[in-house]
Amino acid sequence: MNIYTLERTQEVTAPLEEVWGFFSNPENLALITPPWLGFRVISGGGWKIHEGMLIKYRVSPLLGIPVTWMTEITEVEELSRFVDVQRTGPYSFWRHEHTFTQKNGAVEVKDFVSYALPLGPLGRIVHALDTKKRLDRIFEFRREYVEKRFGATSGA
């Protein structure tokens, strides 16, 4: 299984508590996900995240075909980091670590995703032709939304 990684970092000017509060509410995932994915939380939203929390989503990543995706919050360090891991969904493997670090009057928001696709060699081809570009677009949408909502530092 080929494991791919995606890493994104941005700095915002809002207080750490506000940024953490936004990201630690699963209902806000729909705001930072592009509309073309048809994303919606179908269970597990509306609560502050905690270890063991299961969140189920509906997303239409390819040709408008809906897919159920369930993640588990496996680690939480209040105001610092949390990790979600796919339990069922479109990937063979998905682990997404979110970190929040106070730095020089700003908050560094970092995403580190490790993921793998099913279907062996075919999955590698799909990754090269579609998945990598699609994830880049999704995380660019996310970066733009977060910047508008929380303000960007001049170095971002």
Q: Residue 69: in which H helix or E strand, if any?
A: strand 65-77
In one letter, which amino acid is 111?
D
Tens-digit pLDDT profile for residues 95-125 = 999 999 999 889 999 999 999 988 877 777 7
Tens-digit pLDDT profile for residues 52-97 = 999 999 988 766 788 899 999 999 999 999 999 999 988 999 999 9
Tens-digit pLDDT profile for residues 39-52 = 999 988 767 899 99
User: What global pTM score does this model have?
Assistant: 0.91
Q: Where are the domains of the chain?
A: 4-150
Which CATH number applies to 4-150: 3.40.30.10, 3.30.565.10, 3.90.600.10, 3.30.530.20? 3.30.530.20
SS3 annotation, 70-104: EEEEEEEECCCEEEEEEEECCCCEEEEEEEEEEEC
